[in-house]
């Protein structure tokens, strides 16, 4: 009898906690319903990484190559504006792109949880005009690759094996939505892999390519094939990511 | 090697029936793999189902929305009945994991404990590790009759692993036992990881284990009462270098869904573990584990 009472008390407590939680935390859908005006910030595409992985020599650090001239962030803002215009009024915003691009996660995971989202402060201080209902921030996403490397943002990987080598381009980015009044993050989502993802697993849009797409180490921006392929990767994945976040029309 | 899965198919003492069991098991796996070939391309990169968004989200907890990959599978492990035994047993091993879709699977050795990297520089990772060591029941094996049971143990601790290059991993684990043994266990391993072809990887490397007296004695010590009931001499097992060995594994991913793997781990007991009468008179210091498995991965989405 005492045991039954204890079970009932426990079940009641669990139910109360659940109901309390439901009451305390608005869903992102509820929060988004109130949003009318948005500003879009993009800080993904000033640099690309060139990674040689798999069976490699002893010294193969990831190289960073400048691609600012491609104007990928402008493309991202333009594509996102098009995708969001059906639901929101998108207003142009000014911001310091390098400040957003410079934010790095700590390698110590609990530190990231404790310190909160550093983009929140940047949206409050570095973006004008203030006062829009929400700000959509698109930045580089980071991932482990092959167990031993970090890859982020835009990049090109050459993966060597005993019998062959493979080349893959990727565009890893994540999208945050911040409330324009409280600057609390309403939602965060990383772009998902596309259906034709390459041989090497990456948690975002990627595609197998041939050797002719390899960046020219001196001036990677000169490789127009690479530029076009990366731009297509972003253009194909952005609407579906925004749709997954219920920001754009469902595909 | 200790493993969490103990329930298994017992084989008899001579090698023939054991080989037959293993052959049947391997044939079943191969038959399953044959069936795999017929369906491999049907579900490429599609989400199997979509779950609704959770009714609320908690602060400080990353949202669960997005695509997830689930891996399910079955394997078999042919390993010594208990550590120090000279007979082996075939046991089923379930395979299950869940992770964000597309996230790269890190290299994992068969002896690695379950672990989470709280510190992650890419080439250097560290964090907590936990291993479950199943109980050793004396009445399950005739060699142990008269020796006491050793309860199941949870070993809690941490790991550090470092990749000086993509194709070489070193790993160390230090764990404190709670339960059946209350000692400290340290595992060291190194693996050369050679990608042979797309999806086909071979790895191999040396192993070394150190155990404290409290971790060694419950399994290899023989007290006066046990000596009387078993006929074995009294043995006061001390800690120290516990074993050295080597391991190798191959894995082949047919496509994003299907993967098969196989491994062999050899361990040579050292010190008092090897000198224990349980090993010298009724067992063997040579411990070999062979494993094989197949897994299927599918994606699902949480809105």
Q: Which helix (H) or strand (E) holds A65?
A: strand A63-66
pLDDT of A27: 64
The pairing of strands A134-140 and A37-43 is parallel
Q: Where are the domains of chain A?
A: 27-244
Residue in chain B closest to A113 (alpha carbons) equals B60
User: In 10 A of CB A66, how many CB atoms?
Assistant: 12
Averaged pLDDT for residues A205-225: 85
> In chain B, positions 125-184, which contact chain A (CB-CB < 8 Å)?
163-167, 169
Residue A10, pLDDT > 80, answer no
What domains sit in chain B, N to C, each tagged with a CATH number?
A: 15-302 (2.40.230)
Residue A206, pLDDT > 50, answer yes
Report the C-alpha gap between B290 and B247 in whole angstroms: 10
Classify the C-alpha dihedral B117-A172-B66-A202 as positive or negative.
negative
Inter-residue contact B247 to B207 (CB < 8 Å): yes
* Chain B CB contacts of A24 below 8 Å: 56
Taking the mean position of all CA atoms in its chain, how far away is CA A222? 26
Location of structure tokens 């809105």: B303
Question: pLDDT of A124-145, one tens digit each?
Answer: 999 999 999 999 999 999 888 8
The set of residues, in sequence order, having a beta carbon less than 8 Å from that of A47 and lying 6+ positions away, is A64, A65, A66, A67, A68, A153, A154
* Chain A CB contacts of B65 below 8 Å: 187, 189, 244-245
Report the C-alpha gap between B189 and B161 in whole angstroms: 9
Residue B51, pLDDT > 90, answer no
B197: contact with A, CB 8 A cutoff? yes
pLDDT of A233: 93
Residue in chain A closest to B118 (alpha carbons) equals A109
Residue in chain A closest to B100 (alpha carbons) equals A203
* Chain A CB contacts of B102 below 8 Å: 143, 192-193, 197, 201-204
Inter-residue contact A236 to A172 (CB < 8 Å): no
Q: Which structure tokens are listed for B123?
A: 């080439």
pLDDT of B106: 77
Greater confidence (B41 vs B27) lies with B27
Averaged pLDDT for residues B25-36: 44
> In chain B, positions 7-36, which contact chain A (CB-CB < 8 Å)?
none
Q: Which structure tokens are listed for A213?
A: 């797409």
pLDDT of A39: 96
Are B165 and A56 a contacting pair at CB < 8 A?
Answer: yes
pLDDT of A31: 78
Residue B11, pLDDT > 80, answer no
Residue A106, pLDDT > 90, answer no
Residue B25 pLDDT level (bands cut at 50, 70, 90): very low
Residue A2, pLDDT > 80, answer no
* Chain A CB contacts of B120 below 8 Å: 107, 109, 144
Question: Per DSSP, what are the bridge partners of residue B288?
Answer: B266
Rg (CA), chain B: 21
Residue B186 pLDDT level (bands cut at 50, 70, 90): very high
Q: Which structure tokens are listed for A42?
A: 């993009």
Rg (CA), chain A: 21
Q: Which of A91-105, B111-125, B208-222 has the highest mean pLDDT?
A: B208-222
Closest by CA to B109, choosing from B271, B245, B220, is B245
């Amino acid at each position: 009898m005492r045991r039954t009472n204890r079970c009932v008390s426990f079940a009641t407590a669990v139910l109360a906690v659940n109901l309390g939680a439901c009451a305390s935390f608005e869903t992102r859908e509820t929060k988004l319903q109130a949003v009318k005006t948005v500003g879009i910030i993009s800080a993904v595409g000033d640099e690309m990484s060139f990674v040689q992985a798999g069976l490699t020599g002893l010294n193969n650090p990831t190289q960073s190559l400048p691609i600012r001239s491609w104007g990928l962030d402008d493309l991202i803002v333009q594509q996102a504006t098009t995708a969001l215009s059906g639901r929101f009024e998108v207003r142009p915003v000014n911001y310091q792109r390098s400040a957003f691009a410079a934010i790095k996660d700590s390698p110590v995971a609990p530190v990231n949880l404790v310190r909160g989202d550093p983009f929140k402060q940047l949206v409050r201080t570095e973006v004008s005009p203030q006062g829009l209902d929400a700000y959509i921030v698109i930045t580089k996403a980071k991932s482990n690759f092959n167990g031993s490397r970090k890859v982020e943002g835009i990049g090109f990987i050459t993966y060597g094996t005993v019998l062959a080598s493979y080349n893959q381009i990727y565009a890893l980015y994540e999208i945050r939505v911040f409330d324009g009044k409280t600057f609390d993050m309403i939602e965060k989502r990383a772009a998902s892999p596309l259906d034709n993802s390459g041989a090497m697993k990456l948690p975002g849009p990627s595609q197998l390519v041939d050797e002719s797409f390899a960046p020219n180490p001196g001036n990677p921006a000169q490789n127009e094939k690479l530029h076009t392929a990366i731009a297509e990767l972003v253009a194909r994945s952005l609407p579906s990511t925004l749709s997954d976040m219920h920001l754009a029309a469902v595909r | 090697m200790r493993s969490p899965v103990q329930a298994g198919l017992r084989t008899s003492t001579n090698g023939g029936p054991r080989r037959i069991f293993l052959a049947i098991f391997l044939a079943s796996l191969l038959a399953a793999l044959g069936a795999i070939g017929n369906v491999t391309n049907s579900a490429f990169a599609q989400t199997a189902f979509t779950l609704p968004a959770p009714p609320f989200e908690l602060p400080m907890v990353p949202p669960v929305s997005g695509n997830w990959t689930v891996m399910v599978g079955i394997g078999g492990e042919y390993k010594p009945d208990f550590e120090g035994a000279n007979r082996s047993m075939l046991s089923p091993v379930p395979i299950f994991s869940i992770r964000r879709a597309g996230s790269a699977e890190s290299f994992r050795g068969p002896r690695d404990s379950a672990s989470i990297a709280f510190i992650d520089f890419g080439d250097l990772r560290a964090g907590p590790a936990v291993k479950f060591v199943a109980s050793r029941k004396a009445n399950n094996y005739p060699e142990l009759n008269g020796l006491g049971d050793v309860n199941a143990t949870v070993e809690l601790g941490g790991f550090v692993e470092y990749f000086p290059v993509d194709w070489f991993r070193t790993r160390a684990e230090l764990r404190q036992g709670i339960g059946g043994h209350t000692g400290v266990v340290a595992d060291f391993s190194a693996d050369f990881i050679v990608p042979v072809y797309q999806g086909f990887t071979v790895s191999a490397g040396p192993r070394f284990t150190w155990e404290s007296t409290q971790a060694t004695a419950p399994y290899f010590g023989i007290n006066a009462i046990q000596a009387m009931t078993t006929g074995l001499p009294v043995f006061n097992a001390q800690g120290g270098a516990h074993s050295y060995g080597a391991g190798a594994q191959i894995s082949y991913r047919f496509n994003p869904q299907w993967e098969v793997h196989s491994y062999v781990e050899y361990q040579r007991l050292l010190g008092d573990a090897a000198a224990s009468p349980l090993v010298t008179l009724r067992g063997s210091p040579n411990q070999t584990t062979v494993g094989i498995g197949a897994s299927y991965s599918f994606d699902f989405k949480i809105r």
